[in-house]
Amino acid sequence: MNCPGCHGRAIGFWRWSVGLNAFRYTCESCGAGLKASPALWVGFVVTILASFLGLIPFSAGIERLVTSENGAWAWIMTGLGIMLFFVFTGGIVIYWLCGYRLRREKDDAF
Protein backbone atom coordinates (compact mmCIF):
# COMPACT_ATOMS: atom_id res chain seq x y z
CA MET A 1 0.00 0.00 0.00
CA ASN A 2 1.45 3.34 -1.03
CA CYS A 3 1.73 6.53 0.98
CA PRO A 4 -0.40 9.47 -0.20
CA GLY A 5 2.36 11.81 0.90
CA CYS A 6 5.52 10.49 -0.78
CA HIS A 7 3.83 7.91 -3.10
CA GLY A 8 6.39 5.39 -1.92
CA ARG A 9 5.56 2.01 -0.43
CA ALA A 10 4.13 2.66 3.02
CA ILE A 11 3.59 -0.93 4.15
CA GLY A 12 3.57 -4.53 2.90
CA PHE A 13 0.48 -6.75 2.90
CA TRP A 14 1.39 -9.04 5.79
CA ARG A 15 2.41 -6.24 8.12
CA TRP A 16 -0.67 -4.26 7.04
CA SER A 17 -3.00 -7.14 7.97
CA VAL A 18 -1.62 -7.38 11.52
CA GLY A 19 -3.27 -5.59 14.42
CA LEU A 20 -4.51 -2.08 13.73
CA ASN A 21 -1.88 -1.29 11.10
CA ALA A 22 -4.60 -1.08 8.42
CA PHE A 23 -6.20 1.81 10.30
CA ARG A 24 -3.23 3.70 11.61
CA TYR A 25 0.38 3.54 10.54
CA THR A 26 3.51 5.54 9.95
CA CYS A 27 4.87 5.53 6.38
CA GLU A 28 7.98 3.36 6.14
CA SER A 29 9.37 5.59 3.38
CA CYS A 30 8.84 9.14 4.65
CA GLY A 31 7.57 8.76 8.20
CA ALA A 32 4.26 10.53 7.57
CA GLY A 33 1.36 9.70 9.89
CA LEU A 34 -1.27 7.68 8.02
CA LYS A 35 -4.81 6.64 8.78
CA ALA A 36 -7.47 4.57 7.02
CA SER A 37 -9.23 6.23 4.09
CA PRO A 38 -13.05 6.27 3.97
CA ALA A 39 -12.87 3.64 1.19
CA LEU A 40 -10.94 1.36 3.51
CA TRP A 41 -13.59 1.71 6.22
CA VAL A 42 -16.32 0.86 3.69
CA GLY A 43 -14.34 -2.16 2.50
CA PHE A 44 -13.81 -3.23 6.10
CA VAL A 45 -17.53 -3.08 6.93
CA VAL A 46 -18.47 -4.91 3.69
CA THR A 47 -15.90 -7.62 4.45
CA ILE A 48 -17.22 -8.14 7.97
CA LEU A 49 -20.84 -8.26 6.75
CA ALA A 50 -19.93 -10.72 3.97
CA SER A 51 -18.09 -12.95 6.42
CA PHE A 52 -21.29 -13.16 8.49
CA LEU A 53 -22.63 -15.40 5.68
CA GLY A 54 -20.44 -18.08 7.20
CA LEU A 55 -22.56 -17.90 10.35
CA ILE A 56 -25.43 -19.62 8.52
CA PRO A 57 -23.69 -23.01 8.06
CA PHE A 58 -21.80 -22.44 11.33
CA SER A 59 -25.00 -22.11 13.36
CA ALA A 60 -26.52 -25.06 11.48
CA GLY A 61 -23.50 -27.06 12.61
CA ILE A 62 -23.86 -25.94 16.22
CA GLU A 63 -27.53 -26.92 16.07
CA ARG A 64 -26.57 -30.42 14.79
CA LEU A 65 -23.94 -30.68 17.49
CA VAL A 66 -26.52 -29.94 20.18
CA THR A 67 -29.07 -32.38 18.74
CA SER A 68 -26.35 -35.02 18.06
CA GLU A 69 -27.14 -35.12 14.35
CA ASN A 70 -24.56 -36.29 11.81
CA GLY A 71 -22.39 -33.85 9.91
CA ALA A 72 -22.16 -31.20 12.63
CA TRP A 73 -18.42 -30.62 12.22
CA ALA A 74 -18.67 -30.50 8.44
CA TRP A 75 -21.16 -27.63 8.76
CA ILE A 76 -19.08 -25.87 11.40
CA MET A 77 -15.88 -26.15 9.34
CA THR A 78 -17.73 -24.99 6.22
CA GLY A 79 -18.97 -21.94 8.11
CA LEU A 80 -15.51 -21.14 9.42
CA GLY A 81 -14.07 -21.68 5.94
CA ILE A 82 -16.55 -19.22 4.42
CA MET A 83 -15.73 -16.62 7.08
CA LEU A 84 -11.98 -17.05 6.58
CA PHE A 85 -12.41 -16.89 2.81
CA PHE A 86 -14.27 -13.57 2.96
CA VAL A 87 -11.92 -12.03 5.51
CA PHE A 88 -8.85 -13.06 3.50
CA THR A 89 -10.30 -12.10 0.11
CA GLY A 90 -11.66 -8.84 1.51
CA GLY A 91 -8.27 -8.07 3.00
CA ILE A 92 -6.51 -8.56 -0.34
CA VAL A 93 -9.08 -6.46 -2.23
CA ILE A 94 -8.94 -3.69 0.36
CA TYR A 95 -5.15 -3.72 0.37
CA TRP A 96 -4.99 -3.30 -3.42
CA LEU A 97 -7.92 -0.93 -3.96
CA CYS A 98 -8.16 1.22 -0.86
CA GLY A 99 -5.52 3.27 0.79
CA TYR A 100 -4.37 5.46 3.56
CA ARG A 101 -4.80 9.17 3.90
CA LEU A 102 -2.53 11.54 5.71
CA ARG A 103 -3.15 12.05 9.38
CA ARG A 104 -2.92 15.52 10.80
CA GLU A 105 -1.72 15.97 14.32
CA LYS A 106 -5.09 17.48 15.28
CA ASP A 107 -7.11 14.34 14.54
CA ASP A 108 -4.40 12.09 15.94
CA ALA A 109 -6.92 9.89 17.73
CA PHE A 110 -8.37 8.42 14.49
- Degrees, nearest 5: CA angle 91-17-50: 30
Amino acid at 97: L
Contact indicator for 95, 16 with CB cutoff of 8 Å: yes
Question: Min. distance of Cβ 9 from Zn ion in angstroms?
Answer: 8
Using alpha carbons, list the distances in angstroms from residue 11 to 47, 85, 101. Answer: 21, 23, 13
Would you say 10 or 82 has its CB closer to Zn ion? 10
What is the contact mask toward Zn ion in residues 9 to 48, using x (rule: CB under 5 A)?
A: ------------------x-xx-x----------------
H-run or E-run covering 102? strand 100-102
| 5, 57, 61, 79: which one binds Zn ion (CB under 5 A) | 5
Question: Min. distance of Cβ 103 from Zn ion in angstroms?
Answer: 12
Question: Min. distance of Cβ 108 from Zn ion in angstroms?
Answer: 17
Question: Min. distance of Cβ 101 from Zn ion in angstroms?
Answer: 12
Residue 54 binding Zn ion, by CB under 5 A = no
Contact indicator for 87, 72 with CB cutoff of 8 Å: no
- Enumerate binding residues for Zn ion (CB under 5 A): 3, 5-6, 27, 29-30, 32
